[in-house]
Structures are given as C-alpha cells and as structure tokens.
Chains A and B, each alone.
Chain A
Amino acid sequence: MRMSALALVFAIVAALSAGLTAATPALANTFGFFVYHPTWCCPKTDNRDVYWNGSTLTSNMITAADYGMANLDYQTDLRIGGYDSTAGTHTDLVMFDAHYVDYWGKDWDGSSTGVNITGATKCVRVLAQIGGEYTCDRAELRFDLADMTTTTIRKKTACHEIGHAIGLGHTNLTSCMKQGTSTTQTYSSHDRSHINGQW
C-alpha cells in the first residue's frame, strides 16, 4: 500500500513535470496552426489521403491542378485519395477559377491592398483539436484567370495554393511557396520535412 502511494505521488510529479516540458513551444514553423503559438498560415489538412475536386476549372487550369496534386503526392508523404467528380462531404480541396474582381470581398487586382492576388486559399471548414491545434477539413482554392497567363504561372500557383491548403506558409527559400516573383513549381526540402514530419 505504501509503495503504491509512493508510486502514485511519483507518477503525478513526473506527469506534471512532463506536462510543463511538453507544452513548451516546439520550434516555430510555418506548417499548421496552433492557437497558442500561431503562425501566419494555415491549418494543416486533417487527413493523409487528400481528396479533391476541380470540376468547374477551365481546361488549362485543371491541367495545372492535376500537376499540383500529382506533385504533392510525388514529393511528400501525403497522397491523392482520389478525384471527386462532384465535391462531397469528404472532399478536402475544392478548386475554382474565374476572372475575380471583388469575390469574397477581396481586392483581387490590388488597387486597395497593394497586392494583386493571383490565387487565394481559405479553409472553409476548420476543426478544433484538443491542445489548441486547428486542422482543415475543407479548403477552397481560387485562381484569378486574369493572372493565369502561362503554363509556368498556372503550375506554380497551383503548387502554392495546394501548399497553403495542406498547411504550408510562405517562404523565402526556392519553393513554390515563395510569394510573387518565383516560378519554382515544387516544394523545398524544408516544406517536405514539415509535411512528412506530420504524415
């Protein structure tokens, strides 16, 4: 009995210590979203098999989206779960394109914000996890056709927005996650390590 009580006290002290240590923020990163140590972007996708839909994309853009998803599957431990011909409840990424002007109240041509938006991603269904993390159950990706003028730009932007949708933030490294003046169409080893560290 005395041993059990001693073990119990030891267990509680050890657990409290472990808790205090474990809750110390890990190295901050630009992958995923944790409420107690938020980074600019974005809740990470909530499952390893990523289902997507782009049934309304224009033909050039769906080619780029196909490339972007295949690249995600090839470069990382995330996998294409499948292509949903219509967006259903388990669809993770839904892609749209149009000549956007003020869609969703955004200033797509940058005349007010000073940022000409070529593509945008919004997690429209977030899930709160125990411990303050948020994950994304459904993200919408939108491409402004006014800017999707070449294959290179379309592929880079698809790679970039898919990256946001699965949780990656911007980077200054050579990666499609670099904002603006970059034509890199793949993820960096840094991006991949973020993703593969989770999956």
Chain B
Amino acid sequence: MTKRLPLILTLIAALTTGTLAGTLLNHPHPSFWAQLRYGASASDGEYLFDSLADIVPGAPDSGAFKAAAALVQGTVVDIEPGIAYASDDGESGSRVVAYDSQDAAMRYASLVVRVDKILAGRLGQGYTDGRIRIQVEQPATTTLAELQQSIGTAGTGLMFVHNLAERQQLLGRPVTDPAQLTYAQSVHTPIGEGLFIEESAGSPVLAPLMDGPRAAQLLGYTYVSDDGESEPTPTPACDDLDPCYTPTSKPSATATSVPAGDTEPAGTTPPSLTALRSTLLAAACTEQTATDPSSC
C-alpha cells in the first residue's frame, strides 16, 4: 500500500492538472463585453417602448420614457472607476462610497469612448477632447483591471446617450448633492439600454445592456436562448392561467416585435453595425435630428 501511495498521489495531481489544462485550453479569457454584460444585477419589469425609433433623438415620449439626446458612433478606448453605492434601507437615495470600498454594493464604471461621429442630436456637458464617458454597471464577477486588460476586444459601436446631469434635470429630478453633481456632469447615461457594439469588423452587433429576447425584439431577429433552443420573440400570451396585466399606471409597451426598418423575415443573427447605422440614420432623418441632413 505504501508503495502505491506515490502513484495515487501522482494520479490525483495528474487529474487536477489535466482538468485545469482542459479548462484553460477550452475557454480563452472572456472578451470585454462578455465580462461586462453578465453577472450584473437582475430585475423584473415592464418595457416602456417597443421600437428603436423611440430612442432616436427627437422621437416623441413613449409614456414615461424619453428619447436620447444624441446618437453617436464611437470606439471604446478605456474604462475607469465611476461611482459606487453602499447598501442601506434608504428610500430614494443611497450612500455614495469610495469606488474600491468594501462597503460598495453597486459599482458603475465609466466607459471612455472616443466619439468618431455624432450621428443625431447633440452632446452636452461631459463631451471633452472628443470623448465621452458612459456609465455602465460593473458586475461583481469581474474587476476593473480585468476589464482594462481586455479593452482591445471592446470594439466600436452605436450609442444612444444623454449627459446624466442634464437627463436628471429633464426628468424633473435634478442632482443636488455636490459630489454626485460633479460625477453626473461628467458622464453620459445609456438611453433605452441602447449600446450596439461591433466587436470586430463585420461581426453581428451585440446589445450588451439588454437581455437576449429584448435585443432580438428590437433588432428584429429570432432569439436563440442560452439553452440553444430557438424561441419566438415575445408576443402577448394571455389566458386564464397567465393573464396579461399592467402593474402600474405607467404605460407599457406592447411586446410585439417592431424592428426599426427591416421587413425581411427574421433570422437568428443580429444585423451588422453598418445595416443598423442605416436604419437608425433613417429614423433620425424622420425626426429631423440627423447631424448631416444631406445624408437623408
């Protein structure tokens, strides 16, 4: 038995090494967006609009939802610490803590985006040196250092944004706390979860802030679930067992898929950034907010 002990130990070590080697060989390090889009907070709720045309600058309000101030094409060049909140039982506000504080329960990083072109609307405060900072939740399952290391995979995209301080003012909820005001003036918030990213040239767009079915609904393709099974885009399914309801007086969008523009039969692949850009520019032309009217 004693003679076999080294063999048994070697076998255990080999199994461990083999498993780790297998893991590393089969799973390259996740991309920037794979790290950022998953593992964040999760919620339940009602969608308030049902078409990308509703986000375009100049679009009329859709219930409580208000359109973006600007649509930009930009390239993600860096990610920085933004703001962090602690947990408490507060009602309207939550305590701001240092970004690296152990008390931080919710962290928002700032994507540093080089603005390649303002396609529609206008950028206000926080647009300096040709760059804006966009507020995104940092999942607890990744670190800023890991995100920075993978910034080369962040790619380029179309982004619906609004300066946070100006947005809050527009909504009648101005930021008054001096520390939070400074932050709010420096960042843009994504509007309508509308970040559409092309990780590499010609690849289908990602919508990292939306969950899969929602992205499919807005971009006009058939969602394939994480289980690998094709699911129809959400449609109202109301019966005695599962009746439709509206939880508040806030208007809700219909769940019908209304892709902006494309009337081709839905496939399972999102559009390219080029195709999406054309669609969104057409919508901006309709709203007369395109920055280059000659392209309309």
Which residues in A have some Cβ–Cβ distance to B below 8 Å? 4, 7-8, 11-12, 15-25, 27-30, 33, 35-43, 56, 96, 98-107, 109-124, 126, 131-132, 134, 140, 146-147, 149-150, 152-153, 157, 160-161, 164, 169-170, 172, 174, 179-184
Contacts and interface: CB of A to CB of B under 8 A. Distances in A.
Contacts of B66: 111-112
Contact of A42 (B15, B39, B49): B39
A174 B207 CA distance: 25
Nearest to B49: A114
B228 to A, nearest CB: 7
- State the 7 A-B residue pairs at the shortest beta-carbon distance, nearest first: A19-B18, A36-B27, A19-B22, A23-B22, A38-B38, A15-B18, A120-B43
B45 A118 contact: yes
A180 B49 CA distance: 13
B66 to A, nearest CB: 6
A114 B55 contact: yes
Nearest to B55: A114
Nearest to A145: B91
Contacts of B191: 112-114
B45 A169 contact: no
A186 B21 CA distance: 41
A16 B64 contact: no
B286 interface: no
Contacts of B34: 38
Contacts of A113: 190-193
Contacts of A17: 18
B179 interface: no
Contacts of B242: 174, 182-184
Given A8-B10, A20-B18, A29-B226, 17 more contacts: A18-B19, A23-B25, A35-B141, A36-B27, A38-B39, A103-B91, A104-B94, A110-B64, A111-B171, A114-B192, A118-B247, A120-B42, A147-B247, A153-B245, A161-B44, A170-B213, A180-B46
B21 A122 contact: no
B89 interface: yes
B41 A30 contact: no
A107 B44 CA distance: 13
A109 B41 contact: no
Nearest to A136: B140
Given A23-B26, A98-B91, A118-B46, A11 B38 contact: no
A153 B245 CA distance: 9
Contacts of B106: 104-105, 122
A117 B234 CA distance: 18
Contacts of A11: 7, 10-11, 14
Contacts of A110: 45-48, 64-65, 250
B178 interface: no
A153 B25 CA distance: 46
Nearest to B234: A172
B186 interface: no
Contacts of A21: 22
B287 to A, nearest CB: 17
B23 A19 contact: yes
B22 A33 contact: no
A173 B293 CA distance: 45
B83 interface: yes
17 contacts: A7-B7, A17-B18, A20-B18, A20-B21, A25-B26, A38-B37, A40-B212, A100-B91, A100-B92, A101-B173, A104-B94, A110-B65, A110-B250, A114-B48, A115-B46, A117-B44, A149-B247
A147 B3 CA distance: 69
B262 interface: no
A149 B234 CA distance: 24
Contacts of A147: 247-248
A20 B7 contact: no
B227 to A, nearest CB: 6
Contacts of A37: 27
A131 B34 CA distance: 17
B274 interface: no
Contacts of B3: 4
Contacts of A24: 22, 26
B141 A116 contact: no
Contacts of B17: 15-16, 19
B15 A15 contact: yes
